[in-house]
Structure 1
Amino acid sequence: MVKFKDIKGFVFDLDGVIADTSVYHSQAWHQLADELGVQWSDELADNLKGVSRMDSLELILKTGGKENDYTQEEKEKYAAKKNANYLDLLKGMDSSAILPGIADFLASLEENNYKLSLASASKNSPLVLEQLGLAKYFPEKVDPATLKHGKPDPEIFARGAEVLDLTPEQCIGVEDAKAGVESINSAGETSIGIGDVNVLSEADINFTNTSELTLANIKKAMEVGEG
């Protein structure tokens, strides 16, 4: 494992790491799945975490055996409809939606001169950060519209390091989804998984929730890894 002293930057996912926007995504996708006649389940909701909008729609259609029922144009209209539902739900979001410990963690990273970037598949992430009052921490963001591949492909986290002018080895990626952790690992960065250790077992470092996310805890975990 890379040594803690060599880390210069952090690349963050948004949903489920900075704020629980996944709740709003799930509600919007659930609405669309009902409209499409696809059975909603907790398993389907989990599988959509960290996945791009079009890939999420394809997964819903496949779950319902309807992957060949719609043209590309129709699929894009449905994806746009889901996004409109999501934006409506976001209107009620404020700083109370920031996950425990995250505001303090971001402040400590800034104080200690770490570079920060956002690697979210959501095209709405700038709006979410503004509503949360956290946009100042993320002057650098990966534009998901410029990506060719979604998670678990390493592209988004590799770009997250690139926009900071850092090598992947100098960065820690933070994720709550299995596909995201795979993306971080494939990009050559140190991975932190937030959530169920059984689901995120491939992460280099595991924390059960965001309140455990501190520089001291990360340093301790990396030193144990070195040992």
Structure 2
Amino acid sequence: MSPIKAFLFDLDGVIVDTATYHYQAWKRLANELGFDISEEFNERLKGVSRMESLDIILAHGGLTVSDEQKAELAEQKNQWYLDLVGRMTSEDILPGVATFFSQVRKANLLTALGSVSKNAPLILERIGMSQAFDAIIDGTKISKGKPDPEVFLKGAAELEVSPAECVVFEDAVAGVEAGKRGGMFVVGIGSPDVLTQADLVAPSLDGLTVDEVLAATVA
């Protein structure tokens, strides 16, 4: 019998893929600052907070700006990103997510969102999944980004379960590390060559079953 009581999900790359919108907005910002970033470079920004991402981009462009300018640049990027996200619909939910969530509900498991994005509630609203979660922990509720486990520990606390009773679903290396540091079983969504710290890895939620995940936690 699995002791698991809750599933905690990252948003980006697990439920939806807004990485492309982040990339378009960051690329536009870089271009306006006089340089470019590639999709390959953008991989370094996955699971990283907005200000940290900006620091990485400015370093890449060899630019040093004041804290005030940084705040303005981050806000500009976010506005461009929100313009793109505002056009999202339920069509943007990744394949297999709806089926997996119906299995989660049938198994009477609790659910929480654990995202560093401050825009997570807006995205959930746009795709019609706000009601799919018993708790929503986003960037407005945490002070430390991943790989710090704060976002997942807060999710467990809101659900009133222990970390050992949680499974985390993550697509980013920093997120997998956060889940492991929080003492949780982690399902990596992506490549086993990249998500080496995960306890179980699947290419996506499509085709993955709740029974399979629960069986792995007691294996």
Fold match by TM threshold 0.5: yes
- Normalised-by-shorter TM-score class: over 0.9
Q: How many residues align?
A: 219
The alpha carbon displacement at 1:138 in A equals 1.6
The alpha carbon displacement at 1:162 in A equals 1.2
Which amino acid counterpart does residue 56 of structure 1 have in structure 2? S
The alpha carbon displacement at 1:140 in A equals 1.1
The alpha carbon displacement at 1:49 in A equals 0.8
Q: Does 1:54 align with 2:70?
A: no
* Alpha-carbon separation, structure 1, partners of 2:10 and 2:94: 13
The alignment partner of 2:87 has SS state of coil
* Alpha-carbon separation, structure 2, partners of 1:89 and 1:190: 33
The alpha carbon displacement at 1:210 in A equals 2.2
* Alpha-carbon separation, structure 2, partners of 1:101 and 1:143: 23
The alpha carbon displacement at 1:221 in A equals 3.2
Greater CA deviation, 183-192 or 57-66? 57-66
* Alpha-carbon separation, structure 2, partners of 1:141 and 1:155: 13
Deviation >4 Å, runs of 4+? none
Which amino acid counterpart does residue 88 of structure 1 have in structure 2? D
What pairs up with 1:76-95 in 2 under 5 angstroms?
76-95=71-90
1:9 aligns with one of 6, 9, 21: 6
* Alpha-carbon separation, structure 2, partners of 1:103 and 1:77: 37
Which amino acid counterpart does residue 212 of structure 1 have in structure 2? G
Q: Deviations over 1:82-136 (max 9, x none)?
A: 1100111112211111111101111221222111111111111111111111111
Structure 1 gaps of 5+ residues are: none
Which amino acid counterpart does residue 207 of structure 1 have in structure 2? A
The alignment partner of 2:2 has SS state of helix
The alignment partner of 1:144 has SS state of coil
The alpha carbon displacement at 1:33 in A equals 1.5
The alpha carbon displacement at 1:64 in A equals 1.9
What's the % identity of the aligned pairs? Answer: 44
For the 8 Å contact 1:38–1:60, the answer to whether it is kept is no
Q: Does 1:184 align with 2:158?
A: no
Q: Which residue of 1 aligns with 2:21?
A: 24
Which amino acid counterpart does residue 44 of structure 2 have in structure 1? N
The alpha carbon displacement at 1:65 in A equals 2.2
Distance change >3 Å, CA 213–CA 37, structure 1 → 2: farther
* Alpha-carbon separation, structure 1, partners of 2:183 and 2:84: 36
* Alpha-carbon separation, structure 1, partners of 2:70 and 2:43: 21
For the 8 Å contact 2:49–2:145, the answer to whether it is kept is yes
**CA-based RMSD:** 1.4
> What's the TM-score, normalizing by structure 1?
0.92
1:137 aligns with one of 119, 132, 139: 132
What pairs up with 1:1-227 in 2 under 5 angstroms?
5-66=2-63, 69-223=64-218, 226=219
